[in-house]
Amino acid sequence: MASTDAMQSHTPLQHSTKRQFTAYNVIIIVIMAFGSVEYGYNASIISTTLAQPSFISYFRLDTRKNATQLIATTNGLYQAGGFVGVWTVSYLSDRFGRRKSIAISAFVNLVAAIGLTASVNIEMFIVFRFISGWGAFMIVTAIPIWMNECSPPSCRGVLVDCHNVGFLLGYTLATVFGYCFYHLPEDNNWGWRGPMIFQALWVIILLPNLLWMPESPRWLMMNDRLEEAKRVLARIHTPEEAEVEAIQIRQSVEIDRRLVSSWWSMVAKKSYRKRTILASGMALCIHTSGILVVNNYGPTIYGSLGYDTNKQLIFQMGWCFVALSTGFLSFFLIDRFPRNKLLAFGVGGCAMCLTIVCALIGKYTSPAALENPNTSALQAVIAMIYLLNCFYQLGLDGVQFAFLGEIFPNQIRAKGMVVGVATICAINILWLQVAPTAFATIGYKFYMVFFIPGYIATAVLWFLYPNTLGMPLEEVAQLFGDQEEIYGAGVAHASDEKRGFDVKEEEDKAHIEKL
């Protein structure tokens, strides 16, 4: 066979300079993105739910002395569930396959949706919010592992960005449904139960489709299912690219079998430790942008500007439409600019917007100022909050999952993705727990907690992080000095000329060494 001969003779391999994906590749990515929609809907529905009069009255959050703490717990335990659940993904993905781990995640989300809809007291609701977080962060972690491993190098960023656009669509649908159900009478509990049950819809669509979806070819080769992996590659990539990838993946698997892939190796081995630090550091930088607090407590923020509940929900819906439209624009950026530069651009832009928001709210939202409100200033706050969303979607939301999937080698990719998402959960638990109390006590000054570290994070991402744009997954090892893990040495790939901005591999290695 040609591939065997190439392996034995070490002939340099040439990645296709033409289109590397097939229509089938795009179709399966889009269908898998229904799981991404599930995460987005799941994560966003609480923001409109907390503003629903029927929800507030049913759980007596308008009369309880500990209402603020209960709201914080509702959000915090969701993230705590995510932190616990995400650690199961690496075992499930490596043991049973990428596809089955997604199926299990989808089932957990289905159970959570039913439990939340049927909740009869706040304690039951909080318990199922924990389970909902468990399932949501499982699925948001498992899907990009599969997407990264099923996407060719030249357009991996765009295809993996479907994950981002999927949960942006989920965010938008959650706010639209929340706003529609808001108009039911206050004593009609379907005002909050209705939007909750729609959490089940997206996984009900996904689960039967998983029966015919292909498994990751990389996982198949790792489990000695070589012929099946070749058949999958032949369907999802063009013939030329499928042959090259089959050779590289097989080479990588042969080497991976001799390498340690335990959790301990991620801190004990220098190059793996660098990857782990980069993954956790990136998650920390991105999620100190304040995006989740602004999203989850959007109606509360708009209420502090003097707007009524109807306007609050309209603004929240507008926020999500801005995110969705900007998310589509990110398709045109993610594979054109270096990963580290896009990340720095996103974090820096978010910090700038929050700086302006902080200044405007501090000056124009005091009780005295709201007696004769400066409408232009209040509208500027809304505009800056929307612009923050644009920076986040263009530079951060999709890029983070592409980068996490790219920097780790095959045998620890699932573990690496888990580390990144677990860091996201941990930092979000902190922000969501303190946010209600912080808004009530220090008000606008709370934004300083986000934008001051944001400027520091911008410099860190720009100068210390490597660029993995367009590199085949099996070749990223060279950025970390893993000579024994560079598969298909001498391979040329079409995206070399796309790396741009004079970001060379030598510079990338230097960036990592600074850590």
In a domain, 10, yes or no: no
In a domain, 283, yes or no: yes
In this structure, what token pair is assigned to residue 318?
A: 């507008």
Q: Dump the DSSP string for 89-140.
A: HHHHHHHH-HHHHHHHHHHHHHHHHHHHHT--SHHHHHHHHHHHHHHHHHHH
CATH number at 229 reads: 1.20.1250.20
In a domain, 210, yes or no: yes
Q: What is the pLDDT of residues 74-118, one digit of tens each?
A: 877 888 898 889 889 989 998 999 999 999 999 999 999 999 999
Q: Is-contact 48 318, C-beta < 8 A? A: no
Q: Is-contact 58 189, C-beta < 8 A? A: yes
In a domain, 249, yes or no: yes
Ranges of residues in the chain with a pLDDT under 70 are: 1-21, 474, 483-515
In a domain, 490, yes or no: yes
**Backbone angle region of 374, left / alpha / beta, with phi > 0 → left and psi within -120 to 50 → alpha:** beta
Instruction: Provide the residue range defining the domain that includes 70.
Output: 18-513
pLDDT given at position 486: 55
Q: What is the domain count for the chain?
A: 1
Spatial distance between the Cα atoms of 123 and 129, rounded to a whole number of angstroms: 10
For the full predicted model, state whether its pTM sits above 0.85.
Answer: no
In a domain, 13, yes or no: no
Residue 318's nearest CA partner among 195, 172, 192, 196 is: 172
Q: What are phi and psi of 151, to 5 degrees?
A: -110, 140
Q: Is-contact 412 266, C-beta < 8 A? A: yes
Task: Give the torsion sign (CA, 175, 180, 185, 190).
Answer: negative
Instruction: Count Cβ neighbours within 10 Å for each residue of 71-92 and write b for 16 or more, e otherwise.
Output: bbbbbbbbbbbbbbbbbbbbeb
Spatial distance between the Cα atoms of 1 and 72, rounded to a whole number of angstroms: 61
In this structure, what token pair is assigned to residue 311?
A: 């306007």
pLDDT given at position 151: 84
In a domain, 1, yes or no: no
pLDDT given at position 485: 56
In a domain, 11, yes or no: no
User: Which residues are CB-neighbours of 472 under 8 A, at least 6 positions away?
Assistant: 15, 153, 245, 248, 488, 491, 493
195 burial type by CB count under 10 A (0-12 exposed, 13-18 middle, 19+ buried)? buried
Which amino acid belongs to residue 220?
A: L
With tokens 């997206």, the residue in question is 202
